[in-house]
């Protein structure tokens, strides 16, 4: 036995064949996970792709297929994809929620227009997830959104999540809101601690 | 007036940010190296202070400046036997595990991406021949891919400087290299054993052709990708691998920050990532 070069072509004929969208749609429902993953990649050029991917995301149990679906939704990045990901934030499935958060972090321009709505959602968990999205959202308004949270949100856990992040990304413009946050939650030791820490980091002490 | 001074606080803030983005951790001992490059980029981008530059770095939607800085802060030099603890891990841990469930009629398939100028796949070939007894019982296919056709041609010629082969044991040098004008050429046997192919890891049609790979060496490539592309690349490699297959990243890279698809595997010589055996 030995080192040897591959004797067969790596590419099989079927892999090279152009598949039409109907075929790809059917493969998205295949019993074979690999076929579903490839269909989830290839479907992005088909009409109605976002809708089909979101449908499959909610029914898909294989994590590897879900990851590919999320990558394709991120690639599509249209309003329907963003809306579908937002709906995942309300899912009872913690994995799906976290996967949606990660996907939305990749869509700063698409998520930005709905961020204010997310940060004002009646469900505090959704507001916390929205702050989680801000953690890695590459957008100019991140600090301003966080300031609005610590200034206006009445839920201590939402504010605590936001103040942690402000300690990392905040600047002098956050100082006033951080001081105000301490005044709003005088009985919450964690808020006092986190706000002080954020201010210390911002001022560079 | 411009202030290109970088305070200790600035450095810590930058180091933390850069670590989160790339997995590359700069300790304070690297300050001279980092500061020099940061100052250069501040000047090039017309930033009047670190603060201004850092804002661009963090919030620029295209991520272009972060990429430029990353390129400056990563060392592209490659050479024979680089990070060879992973080759030791290949011999001592990964291959024994792979063959324990491998069909003996089929070859073991190892994929190096990027091939770059060939030092890595040739090092692996030499390691297999010199250090792995299993080579007497198994066929091994070694595939090396790169997006750059010019670098692939260089790799196929297999001519290297003295500096490039400085870590090759003397006895291996005698066995596998000959002196030629311009340097040292890898022996024909070894060159013939590696299949060089052009593959763009971001191109589905390219990656679709890769199948049943048992071990992937993808070192110091994904750090050049943005988050989306890095995740997609990790998903393509997952597709190319056999269940239970392994992937080795560069020592500053971590799959945990790229994709949740892989399982961390801690072997005595190295930490690598595995496509779960039970994965569909």
Give ipTM to 2 decimals.
0.77
pLDDT band (50, 70, 90) for residue B96: very high
pLDDT computed for residue A18 by the predictor: 66
Residue B3 in any domain: the answer is: no
Given a cut of 80, whether residue B131 has pLDDT beyond it is: yes
Are B69 and B100 in the same domain? Answer: no
Residue B21 in any domain: the answer is: yes
3-state secondary structure of B182: coil
∠ CA(A84), CA(B258), CA(B94), 5° rounding? Answer: 135
Cα distance between the two ends of chain A: 65
Beta strands in B30-146 (DSSP E): 108-112, 140-146
Residue B78 in any domain: the answer is: no
pLDDT in tens, B145-168: 988 887 889 999 999 999 899 999
pLDDT computed for residue A34 by the predictor: 93
The distance of A154 to chain B (nearest Cα, Å) reads 28
Q: Distance (Å, rounded) from C-alpha A78 to C-alpha A109? A: 10
Contact assignment for A3 to B135 by CB distance below 8 Å: yes
The distance of A187 to chain B (nearest Cα, Å) reads 31
Are B56 and B185 in the same domain? Answer: no
pLDDT in tens, B207-237: 888 999 999 999 988 877 778 888 999 999 9
Are B261 and B195 in the same domain? Answer: yes
pLDDT computed for residue A13 by the predictor: 38
Residue B34 contacts residue B193 (beta carbons within 8 Å)? no
Q: Distance (Å, rounded) from C-alpha B170 to C-alpha B247? A: 29
Interface test with A, best of B49, B59, B226 (most A CBs within 10 A): B59
Note down the domain range covering B13.
8-73
pLDDT computed for residue B103 by the predictor: 95
Are B134 and B66 in the same domain? Answer: no
Pair of tokens at residue A70? 């999320």
Q: What are the residues of chain A with a beta carbon less than 8 Å away from any beta carbon of chain B?
A: 1-6, 10-11, 15, 32-34, 37-38, 41-42, 62-64, 67-68, 71, 74-75, 105-106, 108-109, 136, 138-140, 142, 168-169, 171, 204
Q: Distance (Å, rounded) from C-alpha A75 to C-alpha A41? A: 10
Are B145 and B180 in the same domain? Answer: yes
Domain boundary among B23, B53, B73: B73
Are B43 and B163 in the same domain? Answer: no
Residues of A in contact with B231 (CB under 8 A): 67, 71
3-state helix, strand, coil in chain B (%, to 5): 45, 20, 35
Mean pLDDT along residues B202-208: 84
Domain boundary among B73, B93, B112: B73
Q: Distance (Å, rounded) from C-alpha A75 to C-alpha A80? A: 12
Sorted by sequence, the CB contacts under 8 Å of residue A17 that are 6+ apart come out as none
The distance of A66 to chain B (nearest Cα, Å) reads 10
Residue A72 contacts residue A102 (beta carbons within 8 Å)? no
Q: Distance (Å, rounded) from C-alpha A130 to C-alpha A111? A: 10
* Whole-Å CA distances, B213 to A196, B141, B272: 52, 9, 15
Residue B1 in any domain: the answer is: no
Beta strand pairing call for B140-146 and B194-198: parallel
Residue B241 contacts residue B247 (beta carbons within 8 Å)? yes
Interface test with B, best of A1, A2, A3, A11 (most B CBs within 10 A): A3
CATH code: domain of residue B204: 3.40.50.150
pLDDT in tens, A35-57: 999 999 999 999 999 999 999 99
For the whole model, what pTM was predicted? 0.76
Are B140 and B200 in the same domain? Answer: yes
Domain boundary among B73, B108, B123: B73
- Looking at every residue in chain B, the average pLDDT score rounds to 90
pLDDT in tens, A103-139: 998 888 889 999 999 999 999 999 999 999 998 787 8
Pair of tokens at residue B124? 């692996």
Which of B68, B77, B69 lies closest to B33 in space, CA to CA? B69
């Amino acid at each position: 036995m030995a080192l040897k070069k591959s004797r067969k072509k790596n590419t099989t004929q079927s892999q090279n064949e152009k598949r039409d969208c109907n075929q790809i749609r059917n493969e998205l429902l295949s019993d074979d996970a690999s076929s579903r993953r490839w269909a989830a990649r290839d479907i992005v050029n088909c009409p109605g792709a976002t809708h089909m991917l979101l449908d499959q995301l909610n029914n898909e149990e294989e994590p590897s297929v879900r990851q590919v679906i999320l990558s394709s939704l991120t690639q599509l990045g249209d309003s329907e994809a963003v809306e579908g990901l937002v709906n995942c934030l309300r899912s009872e499935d913690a994995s799906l929620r976290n996967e949606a958060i990660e996907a939305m972090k990749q869509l700063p321009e698409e998520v930005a227009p709905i961020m204010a709505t997310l940060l004002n959602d009646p469900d505090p968990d959704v507001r916390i997830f929205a702050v989680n999205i801000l953690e890695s959202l590459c957008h100019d308004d991140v600090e301003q959104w966080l300031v609005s949270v610590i200034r206006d949100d009445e839920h201590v856990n939402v504010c605590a999540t936001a103040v942690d992040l402000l300690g990392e990304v905040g600047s002098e413009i956050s100082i006033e809101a951080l001081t105000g946050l301490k005044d709003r939650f005088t009985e919450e030791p964690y808020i006092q601690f986190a706000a002080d820490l954020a201010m210390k980091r911002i001022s560079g002490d | 007036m411009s202030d290109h001074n970088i305070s200790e606080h600035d450095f810590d803030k930058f180091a933390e940010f850069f670590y989160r983005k790339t997995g590359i951790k700069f300790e304070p001992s690297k300050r001279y190296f980092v500061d020099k490059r940061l100052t250069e980029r501040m000047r090039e981008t017309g930033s009047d202070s670190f603060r201004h530059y850092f804002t661009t770095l963090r919030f620029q939607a295209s991520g272009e400046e972060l990429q430029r800085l990353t390129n400056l802060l990563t060392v592209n030099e490659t050479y024979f036997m680089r990070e060879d603890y992973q080759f030791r891990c290949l011999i001592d841990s990964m291959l024994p595990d792979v063959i324990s469930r491998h069909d003996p009629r089929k070859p073991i398939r190892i994929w190096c991406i990027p091939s770059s100028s060939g030092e890595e796949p040739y090092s692996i070939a030499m390691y297999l021949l010199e250090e792995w007894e299993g080579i007497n019982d198994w066929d091994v296919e070694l595939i090396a891919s790169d997006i750059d056709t010019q670098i692939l041609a260089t790799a196929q010629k297999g001519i290297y400087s003295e500096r490039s082969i400085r870590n090759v044991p003397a006895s291996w040098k005698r066995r596998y290299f000959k002196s030629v004008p311009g340097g040292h050429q890898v022996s024909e046997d070894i060159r013939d054993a590696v299949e060089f192919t052009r593959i763009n890891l971001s191109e589905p049609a390219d990656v679709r052709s890769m199948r049943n790979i048992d071990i992937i060496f993808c070192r110091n490539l994904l750090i050049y990708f943005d988050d989306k592309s890095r995740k997609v690349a990790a998903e393509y490699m997952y597709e190319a691998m056999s269940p239970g297959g392994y992937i080795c990243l560069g020592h500053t890279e971590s799959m945990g920050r790229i994709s949740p698809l892989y399982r961390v595997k801690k072997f005595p010589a190295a930490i690598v990532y595995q496509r779960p055996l039970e994965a569909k």
